[in-house]
Amino acid sequence: MSDEELDVELEARLEEQEEFEPPEAFVEQANVSDPAIYEEFEENWPEAWERAANLLDWEEEWDQVLDDSEEPFYEWFVNGKLNASANCLDRHLDDRGDEVAIEWIGELGETRTYTYEELHREVNECAAALRDLGVEEDDVVTMYMPMIPELPVAMLACARIGAPHSVVFAGFSADALATRMNSADSEYLVTCDGYYRRGDPLDHISKANEGLEDVEQDATTVVVDRLGDDLDHDLAEGQVDYDALVADHEGAEVEPVTRDAEDMLFLMYTSGTTGKPKGVKHTTGGYLSYVTWTSHAVLDIKAEDTYWCSADIGWITGHSYIVYGPLALGTTSVMYEGTPDYPDKDRLWQIVDDYDVDQLYTAPTAIRAFMKWGEEYPERHDLSSLRLLGTVGEPINPRAWKWYYKHIGNEECPIVDTWWQTETGGMMVTTLPGIKNMKPGSAGPPLPGISADVVDNSGDPVGAGRAGYLVVNKPWPGMLRTLYKNDERFINEYWDEYSIPERDEWVYFPEDGAKLDEDGYITVLGRVDDVINVSGHRLGTMEIESAIVGVEGVAEAAVVGGEHEMKGEAVYAYVITEDGYEGGADLRDEIVGAVEEAIGPIARPEAVVFTHELPKTRSGKIMRRLLEDIANEDELGDTSTLRNPDVVSEIQQKVQGD
């Protein structure tokens, strides 16, 4: 058979094959390869979770693994004491001080390498500096920074002095920054002058300053100078230059503060059903144990590996799997500042090749782009260092999965399709790569110790083959503990739907739809609340709607997610104008601008459809499902319950005409 024929044959096999065994060579060296681990967790639950905690160094051992007396306010590793920064840095110094902790690659090609020793030094200096500025234990420090090394440095410095950080994605708007700082009563901000995108310097400090104007409390701001002469910036009153500050504390050593296992490590804001972002609270002991354990068991990270997660640290994936998990294991974590297609579409593969990356963890939206760009880009490079591939953030379609498997992994790397959320802290549903077969398109079974199921409206399991709602029936160490200063919303958002408090049955509802197969594999179908997933980024439709209705001339707006070939989902906005206003190009631009200003360019509507009415039920509720069907040009669901059925075909025509 010729090479070409072989390729055709393989392609056909890959199309057909629905199950892939873990490659033997991988299994032989896997961190976890004994299938008994599943029973072990089941039979010895919750004590089996000590296995995760034992991957860390504790100053004082816990005296109880799980305290469930105040459900759903669970506590893990009760009375245990530790420090996250000491676990990510100090404990590696003796054996691995000279090994690389962070390998940073700037978009313009410059690099910075931090050994554990060097990272430890800068984190100590930064911690001393923050303390000098007045940061005390339990003060929330906000960070509004792109992918530059000072971000993980500042996070670990905060962890060292017991000050929770709250990282705001740099692509978010000034408004989004202000909302989050106000909500967290945060009096400190670490930000930077700007960064590079596609080779050009991008001003960031103006956005930060604009946000600070709306912050209710006085805030001290530290500014990293990333752009040097490429961007002149003046520091306002109360703003301090990062380099000068750290230089003032050269050689300083800060004793890691002893934190209780349940003390807050960080806050991370995420979108929910209502317009107000939720401040998800993660703790020191449970979270760090959980991300370290999953980095070890799922990503198969070993200290001597070079591991790369291409997410942004501004999202939970970067917190858990660029910073905390990998560094706790003493590995080399790669950080890349820029975009995957700059200067060319082989940038990622060049980095894998140059640094001999062992594991690559990325998002389906990126894989879809690579696929579209074509095989020629990965083919330019030697990718044989890769041992494992991962995906996260959204469902991956089997075609993209198989492309990733073949063209990036050369059929030699297992793929872990990991389902989890900001709230879960770490991975929940995925195959253990050294044990389980992979099924493209299906994330896999719940991890050992995780009890997940798919249920119907009344909470009864639907069994194999039928769609329902994903639920988690038992607590886990990495779970969020509450929403910042809002226990009530925490219960309403996650526990109200399926729990039966009278019977002490507490069920966590992640607001995702899912399907089980006969082997217990879970295929995640997507959000069932008013949250949409654009390129793996979670956006609340209400937040977008409230930005749109703030535009002069807009009377009402409904936002839904429509399918999108590259982004997974895209924002569709249906807008009713006020009397006397015309729904034309100008208003559309204003609407797009308002969304970018309120949230950021990631929330930019793909389409703005002007209509004089929205489809509503007789009780006045907007029929979002119908609007989704229209966006997707799908066959429409039942319209008989509508108060105004005529409007449907009118909107349909507009969308199709666009």
CA distance 426 to 53: 14
Is residue 196 involved in binding ligand PRX (CB under 6 A)? no
According to DSSP, the residues that pair with 418 across neighbouring strands are 392
- Of 420, 498, 506, 610, the residue at the interface with ligand PRX (CB under 6 A) is 420
Side chain identity at residue 403, one-letter code: W
Nearest distance from C-beta of residue 409 to ligand PRX, angstroms: 17
Is residue 535 involved in binding ligand PRX (CB under 6 A)? no
- Binding pattern to ligand PRX, positions 488-527, x when CB under 6 A? ----------------------x-x-----------x-xx
Nearest distance from C-beta of residue 394 to ligand PRX, angstroms: 5
Cα 506 vs. chain centroid, distance in angstroms? 25
Cα 634 vs. chain centroid, distance in angstroms? 30
- Binding pattern to ligand PRX, positions 314-353, x when CB under 6 A? --xx------------------------------------
- If the CB atoms of residues 364 and 615 are measured against ligand PRX, the closer one turns out to be 364
CA distance 195 to 415: 32
- If the CB atoms of residues 141 and 280 are measured against ligand PRX, the closer one turns out to be 280
How far lies 535's CA from each of 23, 67, 365, in Å?
A: 30, 38, 5
- If the CB atoms of residues 55 and 524 are measured against ligand PRX, the closer one turns out to be 524
Q: With CA atoms as reference, report the closest residue to 544 among 568, 520, 561.
A: 561
CB 310 within 8 A of CB 361: yes
Is residue 392 involved in binding ligand PRX (CB under 6 A)? yes
Is residue 124 involved in binding ligand PRX (CB under 6 A)? no
Choose one: 21-29, 78-86, 412-420, 495-503; the region binding ligand PRX (CB under 6 A).
412-420
Question: How many binding residues for ligand PRX (CB under 6 A)?
Answer: 21
- If the CB atoms of residues 124 and 362 are measured against ligand PRX, the closer one turns out to be 362
Is residue 422 involved in binding ligand PRX (CB under 6 A)? yes
- If the CB atoms of residues 176 and 524 are measured against ligand PRX, the closer one turns out to be 524
CB 274 within 8 A of CB 542: yes
Q: Kindly state the tokens that stand for 346.
A: 């082989």
Nearest distance from C-beta of residue 336 to ligand PRX, angstroms: 18
- Binding pattern to ligand PRX, positions 131-170, x when CB under 6 A? ----------------------------------------
- Of 166, 179, 418, 577, the residue at the interface with ligand PRX (CB under 6 A) is 418
Side chain identity at residue 157, one-letter code: A
CA distance 581 to 576: 10
- Of 175, 300, 394, 543, the residue at the interface with ligand PRX (CB under 6 A) is 394
CB 62 within 8 A of CB 53: yes
Nearest distance from C-beta of residue 321 to ligand PRX, angstroms: 9
Choose one: 148-156, 250-258, 390-398, 601-609; the region binding ligand PRX (CB under 6 A).
390-398
* Cα distance from N-terminal residue to C-terminal residue, the chain: 49
Is residue 533 involved in binding ligand PRX (CB under 6 A)? yes
Going by the DSSP 8-state scheme, the letter that residue 130 receives in this structure is: H
Measured in degrees and rounded to the nearest 5, phi and psi for residue 529 equal -105, -165
Is residue 188 involved in binding ligand PRX (CB under 6 A)? no
- Binding pattern to ligand PRX, positions 228-267, x when CB under 6 A? ----------------------------------------
Measured in degrees and rounded to the nearest 5, phi and psi for residue 454 equal -120, 125
Is residue 561 involved in binding ligand PRX (CB under 6 A)? no
Q: Kindly state the tokens that stand for 547.
A: 């930005």
According to DSSP, the residues that pair with 444 across neighbouring strands are 522
Side chain identity at residue 592, one-letter code: V
Beta strand 239-241 with 220-224 is parallel
- If the CB atoms of residues 173 and 320 are measured against ligand PRX, the closer one turns out to be 320
Exposure string (b/e) for 74-108, b if CB count within 10 Å is 16 or more? bbbbeebbbbbbbbbbbbbeeebbeebbbbbbbbe
Q: How many residues does the chain have?
A: 658
- Of 443, 472, 571, 592, the residue at the interface with ligand PRX (CB under 6 A) is 443
Side chain identity at residue 314, one-letter code: G
Nearest distance from C-beta of residue 300 to ligand PRX, angstroms: 17
- If the CB atoms of residues 124 and 173 are measured against ligand PRX, the closer one turns out to be 173
How far lies 326's CA from each of 102, 318, 455, in Å?
A: 10, 10, 34
Nearest distance from C-beta of residue 633 to ligand PRX, angstroms: 23
Is residue 397 involved in binding ligand PRX (CB under 6 A)? no
Choose one: 47-55, 71-79, 100-108, 392-400; the region binding ligand PRX (CB under 6 A).
392-400
- If the CB atoms of residues 422 and 577 are measured against ligand PRX, the closer one turns out to be 422
Is residue 478 involved in binding ligand PRX (CB under 6 A)? no
Side chain identity at residue 533, one-letter code: N
CA distance 111 to 103: 7
Nearest distance from C-beta of residue 393 to ligand PRX, angstroms: 5
According to DSSP, the residues that pair with 359 across neighbouring strands are 307, 388
Cα 492–498–503 angle (5° rounding)? 105
Nearest distance from C-beta of residue 236 to ligand PRX, angstroms: 33
Q: Kindly state the tokens that stand for 246.
A: 């750290």
Nearest distance from C-beta of residue 441 to ligand PRX, angstroms: 9
Evaluate the CA torsion angle 606, 609, 615, 619 in order and state its sign.
Answer: positive
Residues engaged in binding ligand PRX (CB under 6 A): 270, 316-317, 392-395, 417-422, 443, 510, 512, 524, 526-527, 533, 538
